[in-house]
A = this chain, B = another copy of it.
Amino acid sequence: MITLRSYLQGRWQAGTGSPATLVDPTTEEPIATTSTAGLDLAAALEHARTVGGPALRAMTFAERGAMIKRMSKVLYEVRDALIDVSIQNGGTTRSDAKFDIDGATGTLAYYASLGQKLGEARLLVEGTGEQLTRSPRFWGVHVKTPRRGVAVHVNAFNFPAWGLAEKAAVALLAGVPVVSKPATSTALLAFRVMERLVEAADLPDGALQLVCGEPGNLLDTLGPQDVLAFTGAGSTGAHLRALQAVVARSVRINIEADSLNSAVLGPDAEPGSDTYMMLLRDTVREMTQKTGQKCTATRRVFVPRAHLERVQEDLREQLASIKVGDPALEEVRMGPLASAQQLAAVRAGIDLLEQSGARIVHGSRGKVEPFGVPAGKGYFVSPVLLRADDPHAARAVHEHEVFGPVATLMPYEDVADAARLVALGEGGLVTSVYTDDRAALEALVLGLAPWSGRILCGSSKIADQAIAPGLVLPSCVHGGPGRAGGGEELGGERGLDFYMQRTAMQGDRALLARALGLTLEPPAEA
Q: Which residues of A approach B to under 8 Å, CB–CB?
A: 123, 130, 132-135, 137-138, 140, 142-143, 145-148, 223-225, 238, 241-242, 246-252, 255, 257, 423, 426-427, 436, 438-439, 441-442, 445-446, 449-459, 461-462, 465-467, 473, 475-477, 481-486, 488, 491, 494, 501-508, 510-512, 514-516
CB–CB B454/A503 < 8 A: yes
Nearest CB of B to A426, in Å: 5
Say which residue of B251, B257, B461, B506 sits within 8 Å of A454 (CB atoms). B506
CB–CB A241/B249 < 8 A: no
CB–CB B462/A476 < 8 A: no
Say which residue of B427, B439, B459 sits within 8 Å of A250 (CB atoms). B427
A242 to B504, CA, bound (A): 29
CB–CB B462/A135 < 8 A: yes
Q: Which of A134, A246, A457 has the most CB of B within 10 A?
A: A457
Q: Which residue of B lies closest to A448 (CB)?
A: B503
CB–CB A450/B481 < 8 A: no
A488 to B144, CA, bound (A): 13
* 5 residue pairs, one from A and one from B, having the closest CB atoms: A224-B482, A457-B507, A250-B486, A135-B465, A476-B504
Given contacts A438-B511, A441-B511, A453-B504, 10 further A-B contacts (CB under 8 A): A135-B465, A140-B476, A224-B481, A224-B482, A242-B242, A251-B486, A442-B515, A449-B503, A459-B508, A491-B504
Q: Which residue of B lies closest to A426 (CB)?
A: B224
In the complex, chain B residues whose CB is within 8 Å of the CB of A483: 224, 249-250
Contacts A249-B482, A475-B140; is A438 near B504 (CB within 8 Å)? no
Q: Which residue of B lies closest to A144 (CB)?
A: B449
Q: Which of A140, A427, A484 has the most CB of B within 10 A?
A: A140
In the complex, chain B residues whose CB is within 8 Å of the CB of A514: 438
In the complex, chain B residues whose CB is within 8 Å of the CB of A132: 467, 473, 475-476
Say which residue of B439, B456, B506 sits within 8 Å of A467 (CB atoms). B506
CB–CB B486/A502 < 8 A: no
Indicate how many identical chains form the complex: 2
A143 to B449, CA, bound (A): 8
Nearest CB of B to A238, in Å: 5
CB–CB A461/B511 < 8 A: yes
Nearest CB of B to A101, in Å: 20
CB–CB A505/B466 < 8 A: no
In the complex, chain B residues whose CB is within 8 Å of the CB of A458: 507
Nearest CB of B to A58, in Å: 12
Say which residue of B223, B242, B457, B516 sits within 8 Å of A512 (CB atoms). B457
In the complex, chain B residues whose CB is within 8 Å of the CB of A507: 455-459, 462, 466
CB–CB B455/A503 < 8 A: yes
In the complex, chain B residues whose CB is within 8 Å of the CB of A246: 241
A244 to B476, CA, bound (A): 31
Q: Which residue of B lies closest to A442 (CB)?
A: B515
Contacts A481-B147, A504-B491; is A466 near B123 (CB within 8 Å)? no
Nearest CB of B to A294, in Å: 17
In the complex, chain B residues whose CB is within 8 Å of the CB of A442: 515-516
CB–CB A467/B250 < 8 A: no
Nearest CB of B to A458, in Å: 7
CB–CB A449/B482 < 8 A: no
Say which residue of B450, B462, B510 sits within 8 Å of A145 (CB atoms). B450
Q: Which residue of B lies closest to A432 (CB)?
A: B506
CB–CB A450/B511 < 8 A: no
In the complex, chain B residues whose CB is within 8 Å of the CB of A138: 462, 465-467
Contacts A501-B450, A507-B458; is A438 near B515 (CB within 8 Å)? yes
CB–CB B462/A508 < 8 A: yes
CB–CB B247/A450 < 8 A: no
Nearest CB of B to A473, in Å: 6
Say which residue of B450, B467, B482 sits within 8 Å of A146 (CB atoms). B450
A213 to B251, CA, bound (A): 31
29 intermolecular pairs with C-beta atoms under 8 Å apart = A132-B467, A133-B466, A133-B467, A134-B465, A135-B462, A140-B473, A140-B475, A145-B450, A147-B450, A223-B482, A224-B426, A225-B451, A225-B481, A225-B482, A241-B247, A249-B426, A250-B481, A436-B511, A438-B515, A439-B515, A450-B501, A454-B505, A455-B504, A459-B508, A459-B511, A476-B504, A477-B502, A477-B504, A488-B502
Nearest CB of B to A523, in Å: 14
Nearest CB of B to A78, in Å: 27
In the complex, chain B residues whose CB is within 8 Å of the CB of A224: 426-427, 481-483, 486
Q: Which residue of B lies closest to A458 (CB)?
A: B507
A9 to B239, CA, bound (A): 35
Q: Which residue of B lies closest to A456 (CB)?
A: B506
A145 to B447, CA, bound (A): 10
A452 to B477, CA, bound (A): 27
A251 to B257, CA, bound (A): 14
Nearest CB of B to A348, in Å: 21
A154 to B503, CA, bound (A): 24
